[in-house]
Amino acid sequence: MAIRIVPHKADLSAAVHAFNLRMHAGGSPWGFYVDPIPEWIPRRDGQNVWREYYVALDDDGEVRGAFALKPQDWWVRGEISVVTDWQGPFSEGSVNAKYATLGLRLIRDMVAKRPQLYSWGHGGNEQLVVQMLRKMDWLMHSTPFCLRVLKPARFLRLNAYLRGTAGRRAALDLLAWSGLGFLGLHALHALLRLRGLRRFEARAAEVSEFGIWADALWERCSGRYTALAVRDAASMNALCPAQGWPPVTRLKVERAGAVIGWALVMDTRMKADERFGELHVGSIVDCFADPADAVEVVHAASRVLRNRGVDIIVSNQSHPEWARGFAQNGYLVLQNRRLFAASPDLRRRLEPFDACARGLHLTNMDGHGPTGL
Protein backbone atom coordinates (compact mmCIF):
# COMPACT_ATOMS: atom_id res chain seq x y z
CA MET A 1 0.00 0.00 0.00
CA ALA A 2 1.37 3.39 -1.02
CA ILE A 3 2.00 6.00 1.67
CA ARG A 4 2.10 9.74 1.07
CA ILE A 5 3.60 12.11 3.64
CA VAL A 6 1.91 15.51 3.44
CA PRO A 7 1.51 18.64 5.56
CA HIS A 8 -1.30 18.41 8.10
CA LYS A 9 -4.31 20.57 7.24
CA ALA A 10 -7.83 21.17 8.50
CA ASP A 11 -9.56 18.64 6.27
CA LEU A 12 -7.36 15.88 7.73
CA SER A 13 -8.35 16.51 11.35
CA ALA A 14 -11.04 13.81 11.33
CA ALA A 15 -8.56 11.28 9.93
CA VAL A 16 -6.02 12.21 12.64
CA HIS A 17 -8.72 11.72 15.28
CA ALA A 18 -9.48 8.27 13.88
CA PHE A 19 -5.74 7.48 13.91
CA ASN A 20 -5.57 8.45 17.59
CA LEU A 21 -8.51 6.19 18.42
CA ARG A 22 -6.85 3.21 16.69
CA MET A 23 -3.56 3.89 18.49
CA HIS A 24 -5.22 4.04 21.89
CA ALA A 25 -7.37 0.99 21.19
CA GLY A 26 -4.18 -0.90 20.36
CA GLY A 27 -2.63 0.06 23.69
CA SER A 28 -0.39 2.91 22.57
CA PRO A 29 -0.25 6.03 24.76
CA TRP A 30 0.61 8.13 21.73
CA GLY A 31 -1.47 10.11 19.29
CA PHE A 32 -1.08 13.25 17.21
CA TYR A 33 -2.36 16.80 17.09
CA VAL A 34 -5.88 16.98 15.67
CA ASP A 35 -5.58 20.73 15.11
CA PRO A 36 -3.17 21.41 12.19
CA ILE A 37 -2.19 24.82 13.61
CA PRO A 38 0.32 24.39 16.44
CA GLU A 39 -0.64 25.93 19.76
CA TRP A 40 3.06 26.53 20.38
CA ILE A 41 5.00 28.69 17.87
CA PRO A 42 2.81 28.44 14.76
CA ARG A 43 4.60 29.68 11.65
CA ARG A 44 4.44 33.45 11.22
CA ASP A 45 6.20 35.83 8.87
CA GLY A 46 9.56 36.97 10.16
CA GLN A 47 9.96 34.29 12.84
CA ASN A 48 13.16 32.24 12.90
CA VAL A 49 11.56 29.42 14.89
CA TRP A 50 8.24 27.63 14.35
CA ARG A 51 6.56 24.20 14.37
CA GLU A 52 5.04 22.30 11.46
CA TYR A 53 3.06 19.06 11.32
CA TYR A 54 3.11 16.21 8.78
CA VAL A 55 0.92 13.11 8.42
CA ALA A 56 1.30 9.85 6.50
CA LEU A 57 -1.73 8.92 4.38
CA ASP A 58 -2.56 5.59 2.78
CA ASP A 59 -4.47 5.12 -0.49
CA ASP A 60 -7.79 5.37 1.36
CA GLY A 61 -6.90 8.71 2.93
CA GLU A 62 -6.43 7.19 6.40
CA VAL A 63 -3.68 8.62 8.61
CA ARG A 64 -1.18 5.90 9.54
CA GLY A 65 1.59 8.02 11.08
CA ALA A 66 2.73 11.55 11.81
CA PHE A 67 5.56 13.75 13.08
CA ALA A 68 6.27 17.35 14.06
CA LEU A 69 9.28 19.50 13.16
CA LYS A 70 10.62 22.62 14.87
CA PRO A 71 13.10 24.47 12.61
CA GLN A 72 15.14 27.09 14.47
CA ASP A 73 18.19 29.27 13.93
CA TRP A 74 21.24 27.90 15.73
CA TRP A 75 24.60 29.46 16.48
CA VAL A 76 27.34 26.89 15.76
CA ARG A 77 30.92 28.12 16.20
CA GLY A 78 30.02 31.65 15.18
CA GLU A 79 27.81 30.79 12.20
CA ILE A 80 24.01 30.75 11.96
CA SER A 81 22.19 27.83 10.33
CA VAL A 82 18.79 26.17 10.63
CA VAL A 83 18.74 23.15 12.93
CA THR A 84 15.51 21.22 13.48
CA ASP A 85 14.08 19.35 16.45
CA TRP A 86 11.68 16.50 15.68
CA GLN A 87 8.84 15.03 17.68
CA GLY A 88 7.71 11.51 16.94
CA PRO A 89 7.52 9.65 14.70
CA PHE A 90 4.12 8.33 15.69
CA SER A 91 3.33 5.25 13.63
CA GLU A 92 0.49 2.76 13.56
CA GLY A 93 3.27 0.20 13.29
CA SER A 94 3.40 0.24 17.10
CA VAL A 95 -0.02 -1.45 17.22
CA ASN A 96 -0.36 -3.02 13.74
CA ALA A 97 2.42 -5.12 12.17
CA LYS A 98 1.19 -4.14 8.71
CA TYR A 99 2.85 -0.76 9.23
CA ALA A 100 5.98 -2.02 11.02
CA THR A 101 8.38 -0.24 8.64
CA LEU A 102 6.52 3.06 8.60
CA GLY A 103 8.51 4.54 11.50
CA LEU A 104 11.76 4.21 9.53
CA ARG A 105 10.09 5.72 6.46
CA LEU A 106 8.98 8.72 8.54
CA ILE A 107 12.47 9.29 9.96
CA ARG A 108 13.97 9.21 6.48
CA ASP A 109 11.38 11.70 5.30
CA MET A 110 12.20 14.05 8.21
CA VAL A 111 15.91 13.90 7.36
CA ALA A 112 15.17 14.60 3.70
CA LYS A 113 13.16 17.69 4.66
CA ARG A 114 15.56 18.94 7.35
CA PRO A 115 19.04 17.32 7.11
CA GLN A 116 20.37 19.04 10.27
CA LEU A 117 17.92 17.19 12.48
CA TYR A 118 18.02 16.34 16.17
CA SER A 119 15.95 15.13 19.06
CA TRP A 120 16.61 15.54 22.77
CA GLY A 121 14.65 13.55 25.26
CA HIS A 122 15.08 9.83 24.62
CA GLY A 123 15.27 8.00 27.89
CA GLY A 124 17.70 5.16 27.20
CA ASN A 125 19.49 2.87 24.78
CA GLU A 126 16.81 0.19 25.11
CA GLN A 127 14.25 2.25 23.20
CA LEU A 128 13.55 0.93 19.70
CA VAL A 129 13.91 4.34 18.09
CA VAL A 130 17.34 4.82 19.71
CA GLN A 131 18.54 1.46 18.39
CA MET A 132 17.24 2.42 14.95
CA LEU A 133 19.04 5.78 15.00
CA ARG A 134 22.33 4.17 16.05
CA LYS A 135 22.14 1.87 13.03
CA MET A 136 21.61 5.00 10.87
CA ASP A 137 24.89 6.49 12.23
CA TRP A 138 23.26 9.17 14.37
CA LEU A 139 25.24 10.74 17.19
CA MET A 140 24.05 9.83 20.71
CA HIS A 141 25.16 12.05 23.58
CA SER A 142 23.98 11.59 27.19
CA THR A 143 23.04 14.62 29.28
CA PRO A 144 22.05 15.08 32.96
CA PHE A 145 18.90 15.81 34.92
CA CYS A 146 19.05 18.24 37.86
CA LEU A 147 16.85 17.77 40.95
CA ARG A 148 16.39 19.73 44.17
CA VAL A 149 13.95 18.42 46.78
CA LEU A 150 12.56 21.26 48.89
CA LYS A 151 9.82 19.35 50.75
CA PRO A 152 11.14 15.85 51.43
CA ALA A 153 8.01 14.43 53.10
CA ARG A 154 5.75 15.39 50.21
CA PHE A 155 8.36 14.16 47.71
CA LEU A 156 8.55 10.77 49.38
CA ARG A 157 4.77 10.39 49.68
CA LEU A 158 3.58 11.87 46.38
CA ASN A 159 6.14 11.17 43.66
CA ALA A 160 5.13 8.35 41.31
CA TYR A 161 8.47 7.38 39.77
CA LEU A 162 9.98 5.94 42.97
CA ARG A 163 6.74 4.37 44.22
CA GLY A 164 6.28 1.70 41.57
CA THR A 165 5.94 -1.28 43.91
CA ALA A 166 4.19 -1.93 47.22
CA GLY A 167 7.56 -2.47 48.91
CA ARG A 168 8.91 0.85 47.71
CA ARG A 169 5.75 2.65 48.75
CA ALA A 170 5.97 1.21 52.24
CA ALA A 171 9.65 2.11 52.59
CA LEU A 172 9.15 5.66 51.34
CA ASP A 173 6.13 6.17 53.60
CA LEU A 174 8.20 5.03 56.55
CA LEU A 175 10.96 7.49 55.67
CA ALA A 176 8.40 10.27 55.26
CA TRP A 177 6.51 9.69 58.49
CA SER A 178 9.57 8.93 60.62
CA GLY A 179 11.35 12.11 59.59
CA LEU A 180 14.42 10.18 58.41
CA GLY A 181 13.70 11.09 54.80
CA PHE A 182 13.50 14.77 55.72
CA LEU A 183 16.84 14.64 57.52
CA GLY A 184 18.52 12.57 54.84
CA LEU A 185 17.46 14.64 51.84
CA HIS A 186 18.20 17.93 53.56
CA ALA A 187 21.62 16.63 54.58
CA LEU A 188 22.30 15.51 50.99
CA HIS A 189 21.42 18.89 49.48
CA ALA A 190 23.35 20.70 52.22
CA LEU A 191 26.42 18.60 51.47
CA LEU A 192 26.13 19.31 47.76
CA ARG A 193 25.67 23.01 48.49
CA LEU A 194 28.83 23.11 50.64
CA ARG A 195 30.92 22.05 47.65
CA GLY A 196 30.23 25.38 46.01
CA LEU A 197 29.54 27.57 49.04
CA ARG A 198 29.57 31.21 48.09
CA ARG A 199 27.73 34.44 48.59
CA PHE A 200 25.07 35.01 45.95
CA GLU A 201 24.49 38.58 44.84
CA ALA A 202 22.21 38.31 41.81
CA ARG A 203 18.45 38.81 42.00
CA ALA A 204 15.67 37.90 39.57
CA ALA A 205 12.82 40.18 38.53
CA GLU A 206 9.79 39.10 36.50
CA VAL A 207 9.43 40.75 33.08
CA SER A 208 6.62 40.60 30.52
CA GLU A 209 8.85 40.11 27.48
CA PHE A 210 12.43 40.08 26.22
CA GLY A 211 13.78 43.50 25.19
CA ILE A 212 16.97 45.12 23.98
CA TRP A 213 18.66 44.00 27.19
CA ALA A 214 18.28 40.41 25.97
CA ASP A 215 19.85 41.28 22.61
CA ALA A 216 22.79 42.89 24.38
CA LEU A 217 23.22 39.81 26.55
CA TRP A 218 23.08 37.55 23.49
CA GLU A 219 25.73 39.60 21.67
CA ARG A 220 27.97 39.56 24.73
CA CYS A 221 27.65 35.90 25.69
CA SER A 222 26.85 33.80 22.60
CA GLY A 223 30.54 33.42 21.78
CA ARG A 224 31.02 31.62 25.09
CA TYR A 225 29.19 28.60 23.61
CA THR A 226 30.05 26.30 20.72
CA ALA A 227 26.49 25.35 19.76
CA LEU A 228 23.05 26.50 20.89
CA ALA A 229 19.74 27.79 19.55
CA VAL A 230 19.70 31.54 19.00
CA ARG A 231 18.44 33.24 22.15
CA ASP A 232 18.00 36.85 21.13
CA ALA A 233 14.89 38.86 22.04
CA ALA A 234 12.97 38.05 18.85
CA SER A 235 13.57 34.31 19.21
CA MET A 236 12.57 34.22 22.86
CA ASN A 237 9.45 36.34 22.36
CA ALA A 238 8.39 33.86 19.65
CA LEU A 239 9.05 30.86 21.90
CA CYS A 240 7.28 32.34 24.92
CA PRO A 241 4.92 35.14 23.82
CA ALA A 242 3.37 37.48 26.37
CA GLN A 243 -0.07 36.03 25.54
CA GLY A 244 -0.83 32.34 25.03
CA TRP A 245 1.10 29.14 25.55
CA PRO A 246 3.41 28.28 27.30
CA PRO A 247 2.57 29.53 30.81
CA VAL A 248 6.15 30.45 31.73
CA THR A 249 7.51 33.22 33.94
CA ARG A 250 10.30 35.29 32.39
CA LEU A 251 13.01 36.31 34.83
CA LYS A 252 15.66 38.92 34.18
CA VAL A 253 18.64 38.36 36.47
CA GLU A 254 20.75 41.32 37.57
CA ARG A 255 23.81 41.79 39.74
CA ALA A 256 24.87 45.23 40.96
CA GLY A 257 22.42 46.83 38.53
CA ALA A 258 23.72 44.96 35.44
CA VAL A 259 21.92 42.21 33.54
CA ILE A 260 23.90 38.98 33.78
CA GLY A 261 21.32 36.50 32.48
CA TRP A 262 17.73 35.33 32.36
CA ALA A 263 15.66 32.24 33.09
CA LEU A 264 12.26 30.83 32.21
CA VAL A 265 10.51 29.04 35.06
CA MET A 266 7.23 27.22 35.63
CA ASP A 267 5.45 25.89 38.69
CA THR A 268 2.95 23.16 37.99
CA ARG A 269 0.64 21.24 40.30
CA MET A 270 0.80 17.78 38.78
CA LYS A 271 -2.21 15.46 38.58
CA ALA A 272 -1.58 11.72 38.34
CA ASP A 273 1.66 12.34 36.44
CA GLU A 274 3.53 9.11 35.66
CA ARG A 275 6.73 10.44 37.27
CA PHE A 276 5.78 13.32 39.55
CA GLY A 277 2.43 12.04 40.80
CA GLU A 278 0.68 14.85 42.67
CA LEU A 279 3.75 16.98 43.40
CA HIS A 280 3.94 20.76 43.03
CA VAL A 281 6.82 20.87 40.55
CA GLY A 282 9.01 23.87 39.87
CA SER A 283 11.06 23.77 36.68
CA ILE A 284 13.79 25.89 35.16
CA VAL A 285 12.94 25.30 31.51
CA ASP A 286 15.43 27.69 29.90
CA CYS A 287 18.32 29.91 30.93
CA PHE A 288 21.05 31.98 29.36
CA ALA A 289 24.10 33.86 30.61
CA ASP A 290 27.85 33.75 30.42
CA PRO A 291 28.50 30.19 31.65
CA ALA A 292 30.65 31.68 34.40
CA ASP A 293 27.47 33.29 35.80
CA ALA A 294 25.36 30.13 35.58
CA VAL A 295 25.54 29.51 39.33
CA GLU A 296 24.13 33.00 40.06
CA VAL A 297 21.29 32.65 37.55
CA VAL A 298 20.34 29.21 38.91
CA HIS A 299 20.30 30.58 42.45
CA ALA A 300 18.11 33.57 41.53
CA ALA A 301 15.63 31.41 39.58
CA SER A 302 15.52 28.77 42.33
CA ARG A 303 14.73 31.43 44.93
CA VAL A 304 11.69 32.54 42.92
CA LEU A 305 10.40 28.96 42.72
CA ARG A 306 11.10 28.29 46.39
CA ASN A 307 9.04 31.36 47.30
CA ARG A 308 6.14 29.90 45.29
CA GLY A 309 6.08 26.89 47.59
CA VAL A 310 7.06 24.16 45.13
CA ASP A 311 7.93 20.69 46.42
CA ILE A 312 10.82 20.07 44.05
CA ILE A 313 12.72 21.93 41.31
CA VAL A 314 13.90 20.12 38.17
CA SER A 315 15.82 21.04 35.05
CA ASN A 316 17.31 19.30 32.02
CA GLN A 317 20.72 20.67 31.01
CA SER A 318 23.55 19.71 28.67
CA HIS A 319 26.26 22.34 29.22
CA PRO A 320 28.83 21.21 31.82
CA GLU A 321 29.09 24.71 33.36
CA TRP A 322 25.32 24.97 33.77
CA ALA A 323 25.22 21.48 35.32
CA ARG A 324 27.99 22.61 37.67
CA GLY A 325 26.00 25.73 38.50
CA PHE A 326 23.06 23.57 39.55
CA ALA A 327 25.35 21.33 41.62
CA GLN A 328 26.80 24.38 43.41
CA ASN A 329 23.23 25.32 44.35
CA GLY A 330 22.71 21.98 46.08
CA TYR A 331 21.01 20.16 43.21
CA LEU A 332 21.52 16.47 42.68
CA VAL A 333 22.88 16.18 39.12
CA LEU A 334 21.91 12.75 37.77
CA GLN A 335 24.06 11.80 34.80
CA ASN A 336 22.98 10.02 31.61
CA ARG A 337 19.26 10.73 31.96
CA ARG A 338 18.50 12.10 28.50
CA LEU A 339 19.94 11.49 25.02
CA PHE A 340 20.74 14.14 22.44
CA ALA A 341 20.40 12.42 19.06
CA ALA A 342 21.88 14.22 16.02
CA SER A 343 21.52 13.23 12.37
CA PRO A 344 24.67 12.46 10.33
CA ASP A 345 24.55 15.93 8.71
CA LEU A 346 24.25 17.68 12.07
CA ARG A 347 26.88 15.37 13.54
CA ARG A 348 29.35 16.53 10.89
CA ARG A 349 28.39 20.14 11.60
CA LEU A 350 29.24 19.67 15.28
CA GLU A 351 32.55 17.81 14.82
CA PRO A 352 34.86 17.43 16.61
CA PHE A 353 32.03 16.65 18.99
CA ASP A 354 34.14 16.03 22.10
CA ALA A 355 35.13 19.70 21.99
CA CYS A 356 31.64 20.84 20.95
CA ALA A 357 29.99 18.99 23.83
CA ARG A 358 31.85 21.19 26.32
CA GLY A 359 29.98 24.19 24.95
CA LEU A 360 26.65 22.65 23.83
CA HIS A 361 23.71 24.36 25.56
CA LEU A 362 20.36 22.55 25.54
CA THR A 363 17.33 23.14 27.75
CA ASN A 364 13.71 22.02 27.61
CA MET A 365 12.90 24.85 25.18
CA ASP A 366 15.19 23.14 22.68
CA GLY A 367 13.17 19.95 22.82
CA HIS A 368 9.44 19.48 22.46
CA GLY A 369 8.54 22.33 24.80
CA PRO A 370 8.78 23.43 28.39
CA THR A 371 6.38 20.78 29.70
CA GLY A 372 8.54 17.96 28.29
CA LEU A 373 10.43 17.41 31.54
Mark whether 225 and 165 lie in a shared domain. Answer: yes
- What is the mean predicted confidence (pLDDT) over 38-48? 93
Let me know whether 153 and 101 are in one domain: no
Reported confidence tier of residue 172, pLDDT bands at 50, 70, 90: very low
Position 348 in a domain: no
* Mean pLDDT of the region 307-327: 96
Rg (the chain; Cα; Å)? 21
Q: Are residues 158 and 307 in the same domain?
A: yes
102 within a domain of the structure (yes/no): yes
Indicate whether 151 and 276 sit together in one domain.
yes
Query: What is the tally of structural domains in the chain?
Result: 2
Question: Which amino acid, one-letter code, is at 100?
Answer: A
Domain CATH number, residue 103: 3.40.630.30
Domain co-membership, 38 together with 104: yes
pLDDT tens-digit readout, 63-119 = 999 999 999 999 999 999 999 999 989 999 999 999 999 999 999 999 999 999 999
At residue 195 the predicted structure's pLDDT band, cuts being 50, 70 and 90, is low
CA neighbor of 357 nearest in space, from 328, 331, 322: 322
Task: Note whether residue 344 is domain-resident.
Answer: no
Top-confidence range, 158-172, 178-192, 338-352: 338-352
What is the residue-averaged pLDDT of the chain? 89
Which domain, by its residues, includes 69? Answer: 4-114
Q: Is residue 120 domain-resident?
A: no
pLDDT confidence band for 180 (50 / 70 / 90): very low
Is position 325 within any domain? yes
pLDDT reported for residue 203: 96
Residues 99 and 192 in one domain: no
pLDDT at 115: 97
Q: Are residues 169 and 290 in the same domain?
A: yes
